[in-house]
Chains A and B, each alone.
Chain A
């Protein structure tokens, strides 16, 4: 079974500092990896994805993620955090099996950016 792990329940960072939200994955074959952000009582907003190509993926709102095959990681990063980045972040991997192509999510990481 394919899975993702987000080892941190919460990440705290000061505004203007770089931020990293960690994600590791376990898949058979080539992974399709995604990052989503969720604000309170809202749906998930797409940030970025890795399917193939460059290991450094640039996404929405200044976020980027680096696909590292040897470490099976796909950490989300931003050079300078904003207070408005405070939200819940989900890493996900696309299933690739007889169960179709549903996304399998990590448990989420709550990001708090303080002024």
Chain B
């Protein structure tokens, strides 16, 4: 079955650590996206990528980094510069032009 897989489901980070969230899709979608979800704030765009080896900052990119070396993969690194990283992170993909979007099941990141 085609889909989008996020791992791990739960992640715990110590203060000052970098952590990387995985996102893989087998839908042959060109575009991929990372969103952050906080209670009462909806989903906010962190980064997006339209094609391989290219990505753009979204509304809340500070403290995050991404790479797009393969069409199938779009990992998100939460760096120590992100002061409030505890949140639910959602990855999505779409065909070029954005006619439909598929979401992963999310990663819940907690700072301990």
* Chain A residues proximal to chain B, CB less than 8 Å: 9, 32, 34, 36, 41-46, 49, 51, 90, 94-95, 99-108
Q: Inside 8 A of A46's CB, which chain B residues have their CB? A: 100-102
Q: Inside 8 A of A94's CB, which chain B residues have their CB? A: 98
Q: Which of B33, B42, B100 contacts A106 (CB 8 A)?
A: B42
- Closest 5 A-B residue pairs measured CB to CB? A101-B98, A107-B42, A43-B103, A44-B103, A43-B105
Tell me the nearest residue of chain B to A9, going by C-beta.
Answer: B40
Indicate whether B2 reaches chain A with its CB closer than 8 angstroms: no
Show 6 residue pairs from A and B whose CB-CB distance is below 8 angstroms, ordered by the A residue.
A32-B99, A36-B103, A44-B43, A99-B58, A101-B96, A108-B42
Q: Are A100's CB and B50's CB within 8 A?
A: yes
Instruction: Please report the C-alpha to C-alpha distance between residue A107 and residue B96 in the assembled complex, in whole angstroms.
Output: 25
Instruction: Please report the C-alpha to C-alpha distance between residue A53 and residue B5 in the assembled complex, in whole angstroms.
Output: 33
